[in-house]
Structure 1
Amino acid sequence: MDTGSSDLWVDTTGLDLSPFNDTGVNAGIQYGDTSIAEGPVLLGPVQFGGFRVDQQAFISAPGSNATFPSVDDLGILGVGATGLSVITNKLKNSSYNGRSFLDNVFMMNPEEPNYITFLLSRDPEVQITGGGTFTIGEVATDFASITNTPKREVVFTNSTLPRWSITVDGVIVNGKTYNGHSAFNSSFVNANQTIALIDSGTSSARVPRFYADAMYQNVPGAVFNSTLNAYVLPCDTKVNISFVFGTDEFPVNPIDATVILGEDDKGNLICIGAFEAGSIPPDLDMILGDSFLRNAHALFDFGAWATSGTSDPFMQLLSVTNQSQAWEQFDALNTVRLNSYKAIYDGPSGTGQNVADDTVSTQTSSPNASDSTLMRNSYIIIGLLGGVIVLLLILSVLVARGGENVGYKPVPSVPQAGHGGDEDPYGIAKPYTYSTP
């Protein structure tokens, strides 16, 4: 479930595709870590919770390397604007319906409001996303107050890239406010604002170096690593971070401010700041993924982005983190987290999962150091394979219909450094020119 893209694709390896119609068109999506989902565009029935689209276009991508075969994750459903859809663009001059799944749902169900919501849960052991609730056209009963929060205008600097991006009015770090440093002029933001994509398909976050410095530079033992474009930190690092939208503060649980990267060759855990620097797409200042979204209930209203809509798209956010309580609970939760990761790395199936010494070094770097890719789009789950740290994404969510919210069983996971392209390392999907493998 990815707010950073708009297409549905499925790894169809071993599946009977005879019930589906082949459009004769091929399409592909390439993510920032260079993984690809490509293949023929098929049409057929797609059922999702209580919604069904009989002739939904999707990419059949057998053998795609964009998901990991050891978990039952068969693909990605993009829930961004149809204007971002690769499939829609490919089929625009054909007789086929190339609209995104959500656009079809909204058009077929005019009585349903044209919005979706995300509420992510936290795994009690490894403290990353362990599931959550996803709704279409309704809100979870316990969080109905989100509809009374300010409507935050969607801002996009490139008319061909309609993203779920809004303005951020500042970041508070240990009581001190930092703001500004946007790459854009006053026609999009004022002097104190930045533009952030709210991306359910990103496991942590990307911010300008100015903000990464503000968050971590004064932590004892912190060193900026130019290869990772992130601060390497002591694993007991405790920092208070809040994002400001308008006049509202959204605290980030301190457990979400750091990520466990792996082990060094001596068996010591290596941690980095979850808010990394560098490699941000040119139409954005920040990408706020799960590290932020685990602390906020988010509503995405499509407005005119949906075929049946007329209003401007907007977002609403509701804070779900009690800052003082999270601060008090950090030490106990972090101890559980560190022990859980040690068990994963050092257990029978996880021994020897080390990070190369030349990847995590103590050298410092200037803000203009060359970028690398640390995380890719969506939930990132570690594959403990033969001593190689592998990136992979998963977002475990479900439709909540009729007020019933059933969580997925969390999978122990470790965000890891990975390989990738020079831009969009967090996997904001970009079109891929199809070629026969």
Structure 2
Amino acid sequence: MRSLIPLTLLIAVFHTPVHAVTFPVHIQVNRNPSPSLSRRTPVPIGNIGNAQYVSNITLAGVTLPVLLDTGSSDLWVAFPQSPPAGSIKDTGKSLTLSYAVGKASGNIQTAQIQFGNYTLNDQAFLLVNDTSTFTSDIHSQGYDGLLGLGPNTGSLIGKKLSGSTGYSTLQRLFQQDKMTANYISFLLDRKSDPGEPFTGQITVSELVPGFENITSMPILDVETVNRILKGDQHWQALTDKNNGITGPDGLPIQLKSIVPNAPSGQFVAVIDSGFTFSQVPRAISDAIYGRVNGAYYDTQNEWWLVPCGQYLNVSFNFGGISYPVHPLDLVDNNFNQIDSTGKQVCIGAFQPITSAFSILGHYDMILGMSFLRNTYTLLNFGNWVGTNGSQAHPYIQLASVTNVAAARNDFIKVRLGGNDTISDAKWALLPASQMQHSPISAEEKKKAYEEKILSRWPYILFGCLMLVLILVGLCIWRCCCRRGQKEGTGGKRGFFSRKRGGVNQKRSSYVPLSTPDRSASPYPPQNAGAFAMSQQHLHEDYGRGGPGFSGHRQV
């Protein structure tokens, strides 16, 4: 997926144009690294104003900074200059990739790509000429394209090209070494944080030195999460039961999941590095910011605006582990927001989910950069790749990198000028009874209604089929009852008894209509001709039916 922040905010991040990006690397080194960890070095990740994260690739001999997006699977680029002649090949296929904000349209090409120490020949990518739906000029914002880090099954380029030609970049990287585990890991750093001990970096099939303890963290199995569409694979996990999110007041935020098969008391969260602001249910965003004194909701941009000095303590809980969010990430001051009085205000970086709302009910929230800066993240593709015979489910592991006490000190230095006024009355949360609730737009109500129907269509369809079967069964049963009543009544009069002179005489056996009833009289008729004539009239009347004919005729 792609970040939802508008162009005006992105422009505010940049003060000078950037055409080529070189990122310094400061890596924590383990004093006794294992041989498997010393084969390659992590690829550095550049931080553009806490709004976007990029790494360099070399495509067709040109070095290009690209956004890193775990919510999509394809590579697209827009060369800042003319594409190098003779280094790329046109497949003759065109494609449009749609994101939460913006579309990338162009022709599918192939070229050699280098990413870190890896080199791939004939890598498929989308060559894009018009990026105006994203911003006016992506190059001035420090990137020339986007590298999708999602599963290969989500690649639209792969669906356009036959066989392995259209495989995603990560899929082909994993195929180069079938003996290693198929995972990536990454760290996202935080600008303007005096206590940040590392810079951003990403690895393929190895760990960042100094963070090896991530392998002891809980395994969050993404296959346990319900998905209606089989191909709709995301990096998603279940929060802890009845304690998925701990709010600013220290209490769990309670809310029912919109995912039909989600276990009771748990949320489905997608891990997506393409979102600057995390997208959460409106009730959760209100619970985080609605009790802040002086906070108000911006209906135009659909986020909370909060006093920049407001300290908040919120954590997300997965696998029994608490992952606190740095207060600098909860209340974001990277975009120079000014209120009507000319005073700077900050954005609540856990935004009500609107444009990215899952109409099919696949997930409750998207945890983007504002959350991922607080974890070292490992994404294991498992059997999504299918190259090394792995039958393991894909999974996520998270290691917290935010210390609550240290984060509090950072906040005091950065936002409060070094004076600890966090306990002052002006920063106290309002009573729960005075909590503000952000307004719900008509469009959002419509989406919520559609979600309730579309996410539950299998149950609705099953219910409709059962109703139809019941109605059909009732109709058949009713018809059988009526037929049985008719046959029962006619049988008593036509087959089991004869009425002669007001006296009922019981037959000893069934007698066809065309055969004389010898059981009624032991003697043959006196006039055989008359009997034959009467039988002829009988058959004529049976064939014609007649007024009141009911299928049986008394003799």
Provide the C-alpha distance between the structure 2 equivalents of 1:298 and 1:125, rounded to a whole number of angstroms: 20
Report the 3-state secondary structure (helix = DSSP H, G, I; strand = E; otherwise coil) of the residue aligned with 1:97.
helix
Seen in structure 2, the aligned counterparts of structure 1 residues 230 and 5 have a Cα distance that, compared at 3 Å, is same
Q: Does 1:44 align with 2:111?
A: yes
Seen in structure 2, the aligned counterparts of structure 1 residues 223 and 323 have a Cα distance that, compared at 3 Å, is same
Whether the 8 Å contact between 1:225 and 1:364 is mirrored in structure 2 is: no
Pick one of 201, 217, 232 that aligns with 1:161: 232
Seen in structure 2, the aligned counterparts of structure 1 residues 72 and 213 have a Cα distance that, compared at 3 Å, is closer
Write the letter of the residue equivalent to 2:320. Answer: T
Equivalent position of 1:6 in the other structure: 73
Whether the 8 Å contact between 1:229 and 1:371 is mirrored in structure 2 is: no
Q: Which moved more, 1:218-227 or 1:206-215?
A: 218-227
Equivalent position of 1:138 in the other structure: 206
Pick one of 259, 262, 265 that aligns with 1:184: 259
Seen in structure 2, the aligned counterparts of structure 1 residues 96 and 111 have a Cα distance that, compared at 3 Å, is closer
Write the letter of the residue equivalent to 1:60. Answer: L
> 1:332 offset after TM fit, Å?
1.3
Deviations 1:108-137 (A, max 9, x none): 211231000011111126999x96010000
Alignment of 1:185-204 (within 5 A): 185=260, 187=261, 189-204=262-277
Pick one of 237, 247, 268 that aligns with 1:173: 247
Q: Does 1:291 align with 2:367?
A: no
Equivalent position of 1:390 in the other structure: none
Pick one of 152, 155, 165 that aligns with 1:97: 165
Provide the C-alpha distance between the structure 2 equivalents of 1:60 and 1:127, rounded to a whole number of angstroms: 40
Equivalent position of 2:413 in the other structure: 332
> 1:322 offset after TM fit, Å?
0.5
Equivalent position of 2:140 in the other structure: 70
Alignment of 1:5-24 (within 5 A): 5-12=72-79, 13-24=81-92
Write the letter of the residue equivalent to 1:9. Answer: W
Q: Give TM-score, length-normalised by structure 1.
A: 0.73
Write the letter of the residue equivalent to 1:168. Answer: T
Q: Does 1:151 align with 2:230?
A: no
Pick one of 256, 263, 268 that aligns with 2:343: 268
Provide the C-alpha distance between the structure 1 equivalents of 2:97 and 2:291, rounded to a whole number of angstroms: 40
> 1:148 offset after TM fit, Å?
1.2
Q: Does 1:119 align with 2:187?
A: yes
> 1:144 offset after TM fit, Å?
0.3
Q: Does 1:302 align with 2:384?
A: no
Q: Which has the higher contact order (CA 8 A, sep 6+)?
A: 1
Provide the C-alpha distance between the structure 2 equivalents of 1:131 and 1:36, rounded to a whole number of angstroms: 30
Provide the C-alpha distance between the structure 2 equivalents of 1:127 and 1:62, rounded to a whole number of angstroms: 41
Equivalent position of 2:175 in the other structure: 107
Seen in structure 2, the aligned counterparts of structure 1 residues 331 and 370 have a Cα distance that, compared at 3 Å, is farther
Report the 3-state secondary structure (helix = DSSP H, G, I; strand = E; otherwise coil) of the residue aligned with 1:316.
strand
Q: Give TM-score, length-normalised by structure 2.
A: 0.58
Equivalent position of 2:297 in the other structure: 224
> 1:156 offset after TM fit, Å?
4.9
> 1:44 offset after TM fit, Å?
1.5
Consecutive unaligned residues of structure 1, counting only runs of 5 or more, are 338-362, 373-422, 424-437
Provide the C-alpha distance between the structure 2 equivalents of 1:286 and 1:43, rounded to a whole number of angstroms: 35
Deviations 1:158-214 (A, max 9, x none): 3221001111221111311124421023x3x21111111111111120111121121
Q: CA RMSD in A?
A: 2.6
Q: Does 1:55 align with 2:122?
A: yes
> 1:371 offset after TM fit, Å?
5.1
Write the letter of the residue equivalent to 2:210. Answer: D
Consecutive unaligned residues of structure 2, counting only runs of 5 or more, are 1-67, 419-435, 451-555
Write the letter of the residue equivalent to 1:291. Answer: S
* Structure 1 or 2: more helix by fraction: 2
Seen in structure 2, the aligned counterparts of structure 1 residues 321 and 365 have a Cα distance that, compared at 3 Å, is closer
Provide the C-alpha distance between the structure 2 equivalents of 1:302 and 1:228, rounded to a whole number of angstroms: 35
Seen in structure 2, the aligned counterparts of structure 1 residues 156 and 38 have a Cα distance that, compared at 3 Å, is farther
Provide the C-alpha distance between the structure 1 equivalents of 2:443 and 2:306, rounded to a whole number of angstroms: 20
Equivalent position of 1:86 in the other structure: 156
> 1:29 offset after TM fit, Å?
1.1
Write the letter of the residue equivalent to 1:148. Answer: S
Seen in structure 2, the aligned counterparts of structure 1 residues 4 and 106 have a Cα distance that, compared at 3 Å, is same
Seen in structure 2, the aligned counterparts of structure 1 residues 227 and 369 have a Cα distance that, compared at 3 Å, is farther
Provide the C-alpha distance between the structure 1 equivalents of 2:139 and 2:110, rounded to a whole number of angstroms: 24
Provide the C-alpha distance between the structure 1 equivalents of 2:437 and 2:323, rounded to a whole number of angstroms: 31
Whether the 8 Å contact between 1:228 and 1:371 is mirrored in structure 2 is: no
> 1:273 offset after TM fit, Å?
0.9
> 1:370 offset after TM fit, Å?
4.2
Deviations 1:306-362 (A, max 9, x none): 13143210000000100122123212122579xxxxxxxxxxxxxxxxxxxxxxxxx
> How many residue pairs are counted as aligned between the two chains?
342
Provide the C-alpha distance between the structure 1 equivalents of 2:195 and 2:74, rounded to a whole number of angstroms: 29
Equivalent position of 1:316 in the other structure: 397
Provide the C-alpha distance between the structure 1 equivalents of 2:89 and 2:214, rounded to a whole number of angstroms: 41
Provide the C-alpha distance between the structure 2 equivalents of 1:56 and 1:179, rounded to a whole number of angstroms: 46
Write the letter of the residue equivalent to 1:162. Answer: Q
Report the 3-state secondary structure (helix = DSSP H, G, I; strand = E; otherwise coil) of the residue aligned with 1:102.
helix
Equivalent position of 1:236 in the other structure: 309
Equivalent position of 1:345 in the other structure: none
> 1:257 offset after TM fit, Å?
0.3
Q: Select the structure of larger CA radius of gyration.
A: 2
Write the letter of the residue equivalent to 1:114. Answer: N
Seen in structure 2, the aligned counterparts of structure 1 residues 371 and 230 have a Cα distance that, compared at 3 Å, is farther
